[in-house]
Amino acid sequence: MAQNEDPYWRLRPPPPTPSDDICSCSGSPPIMLQAHLSSNPISCITCNLEVPPERIGFSEPLCEWLAYWQQFHDCFFLLWLDSGEFESWAKAQLEDPESPVNKQGLELVSDLNSLRRAYYWLFQDTDVKDFQPLSRCPVCQGELSEQHGRNTCEQCSIVIGD
Ligand SMILES: [Zn+2]
Ligand SMILES: [Zn+2]
């Protein structure tokens, strides 16, 4: 049944990711750990679409940790989206590379890097007055370089911005 025919679709289990939203790049482009309120937080750095886990081939413990981290990250993201009393706290957690959710994400990326070149997509709130994109890596303060059309810190495996 199409989603718009079922008034309760938001309470149903989510359908599989549509094939249009799955990476079809050739070769093995680098991946990004990037939570987006779906069950798989692995995106392609080139097309930004979801990379199915079987294309990378994770161990079961790594898969479990990724699934846990995805939900952990969503907690902060939802508090930020909710725009209530926890908004600024949640935003600070999402932007601070030293916060528990980002530290775990960076550790996960270091594990993923043994399987395929992987980066951590670091959240930045772009919807603020006088927004300035980061020009240096917030972890090592090194200069960012352009890779695959994105600003990255190669040393820390971090992607900044869209
Ligand atoms: Zn792709
Ligand atoms: Zn760095």
Q: Is residue 115 part of a domain?
A: yes
- pLDDT at residue number 3: 59
Q: Is residue 2 part of a domain?
A: no
Neighbours of ion ligand 2 (CB under 5 A): 137, 139-140, 142, 153, 155-156
Pairing status of strand 158-160 against strand 150-153: antiparallel
> Which residue, chain included where needed, has tokens 């990004």?
32
Threshold 0.75, pTM exceeds: yes
**156 and 146 Cβ atoms separated by less than 8 Å:** no
- pLDDT at residue number 21: 94
Q: How far apart are CA 58 and CA 61, in angstroms?
A: 8
Q: How far apart are CA 29 and CA 121, in angstroms?
A: 15
Q: Is residue 117 part of a domain?
A: yes
Q: Provide the domain count of the chain.
A: 1
Radius of gyration of the chain (CA): 16
Distance of CA 44 from the midpoint of ligand 1 (Å): 4
Q: Is residue 152 part of a domain?
A: no
- Give the torsion sign (CA, 135, 141, 131, 36): positive
Q: Is residue 80 part of a domain?
A: yes
Q: How far apart are CA 106 and CA 123, in angstroms?
A: 13
Distance of CA 146 from the midpoint of ligand 1 (Å): 17
Does pLDDT of 122 surpass 80? yes
Between 86 and 126, name the one with better pLDDT: 86
Does pLDDT of 1 surpass 60? no
- pLDDT at residue number 5: 86
- pLDDT at residue number 46: 94
Domain that holds residue 60: 31-37+54-123
- pLDDT at residue number 40: 95
Mean pLDDT of 89-108: 97
152-to-25, 32, 34, 89 alpha-carbon distances in Å:
20, 11, 14, 26
Does pLDDT of 4 surpass 80? no
Nearest ligand to the CA atom of 30: 1
Render 41-107 in DSSP notation, one character per residue.
-EEETTT--B--HHHH---HHHHHHHHHHHHHHHHHHHHHHTTSTTHHHHHHHHH-TTSHHHHHHHH
Does pLDDT of 152 surpass 70? yes
pLDDT tier at 134, thresholds 50, 70, 90? confident
- Of 3-12, 17-26, 75-84, 115-124, the one with minimum mean pLDDT is 3-12
